[in-house]
Structure 1
Amino acid sequence: MKQVDIFVAFFRVGMLGYGGGPSSIPLVYKEVVDKYKWMDSDEFGDIVAIGNALPGPIATKLAGYIGYRVGGIVGMLNALVASTVPTIIMMIFLLNALNAYKDESWVKGMAAAVMPVVAVMLAVLTWDYVKKSWESTLGWGWTLLFVVASLILMEFANIHPAIIIFALLLGALLKKDSRSGDQGKKEKHST
């Protein structure tokens, strides 16, 4: 039954993920965290962050990792097929249809109407991550600093998000190592 659930979850994402990989992230979240509860919100956020730092489409990286985690190698292949095959089929049929009717006003209206919905889905997911950062040990000050700094670096300095994510992960690891070194010194002095 688990393999069926994996297929259904990622098939829905593949069918409804209009607008590419980033727009499918909230759909994957709904399936993986809310519906099937294969992981919690924090784990999902970690997977998205690491997935964004790696090359390739985010939707397939999420499908592959989550499928593997839930159902092993078969689950990974199952999730990848379920998330990519609908897109391939829809691309073939829809692009032929849209190409035939591309100058029609209803086609332009349909495409324009979907964009705000995708934007709202991404905004809601972003707000959830900001709240989780604030509620964790970061607090509002650090969270706002990271949000503003990331926005400036990505939008004005044109630095790729993967570089920012990597730098933050590296900074967190170095900070953790320095804390463990400080604790070792404290333990030596107390003995």
Structure 2
Amino acid sequence: MTYLQIFVSFFQIGLFSFGGGYAALPLIENQVIDVHKWLSLAEFADLITISQMTPGPIALNAATFVGTRVGGLLGAIVATIGCITPSCIIVLMLAYLYYKYKNLSTIQGVLNGLRPAVVSLIASAGISILALALFKTEVTTLLNVKFSDINIVSLILIVIGVFVLKKYKSNPIHVIMASGVVGFIIYALIL
């Protein structure tokens, strides 16, 4: 039954995650934490970190990680297949329909209508991760947090990382690696 649950959960994630991997994060969070309780929120934050550091789409990496955690190697395969199956079917159908009807204004209207929904899904995931990084709490409990609870080291690393990315147009991989090294030095060796 676990493999069927894994497949169905990631099939749903793959089916409803419009806008890419970051837009899928709230869906993954709901299935993995709220519905099935396969991971804690802290483990989910680690999952996001690992999924971003490894090559490939974040949703697919997350599916593989959760599948491995819940059902071993077979669980990873089932979760990965569940995650990509809807995309394969939908893309094939949409490609056919798009090339056949691409000049219709209705198609352009639908695409324009999906953009705000995608932005809101990405913003929701970003706020959840930001709250966890700065306060080590869920967004739902964020209203009860005082500003004195802010993790100063995390805040400084976030501000410096954004500054370096925007000002110097640095490679995000280098910024991630540098932040990881600085975080390791501060948390493991100093604090």
How far does residue 143 in structure 1 lie from its aligned partner after superposition? 4.2
1:147 and 2:137 matched: no
Name the % identity.
27
**Would you say the 8 A contact 1:10–1:63 is kept in 2?**
yes
Per the alignment, residue 186 of structure 1 pairs with none
Deviation string for 1:109-138 (max 9, x for gaps)? 111111111111111221122222222398
CA separation in 2, counterparts of 1:149 and 1:102?
A: 44
**Secondary structure of 1:70's match?**
helix
Aligned residues: 180
Per the alignment, residue 28 of structure 2 pairs with 28
Per the alignment, residue 168 of structure 1 pairs with 179
Per the alignment, residue 187 of structure 1 pairs with none
**Secondary structure of 2:168's match?**
coil
**Closer, same or farther: CA 152–130 of 1 in aligned 2, 3 Å:** same
**Closer, same or farther: CA 171–141 of 1 in aligned 2, 3 Å:** closer
Per the alignment, residue 142 of structure 2 pairs with none
**Closer, same or farther: CA 101–154 of 1 in aligned 2, 3 Å:** farther
**Closer, same or farther: CA 162–40 of 1 in aligned 2, 3 Å:** farther
Match of 1:179 among 165, 168, 190: 190
Per the alignment, residue 103 of structure 2 pairs with 103
CA separation in 1, counterparts of 2:149 and 2:177?
A: 18
1:118 and 2:118 matched: yes
CA separation in 1, counterparts of 2:187 and 2:158?
A: 21
**Would you say the 8 A contact 2:23–2:125 is kept in 1?**
no
AA aligned opposite 1:164: V
TM-score (normalizing by structure 1): 0.84
CA separation in 1, counterparts of 2:25 and 2:171?
A: 19
CA separation in 2, counterparts of 1:156 and 1:115?
A: 27
Larger radius of gyration: 1
CA separation in 2, counterparts of 1:14 and 1:5?
A: 14
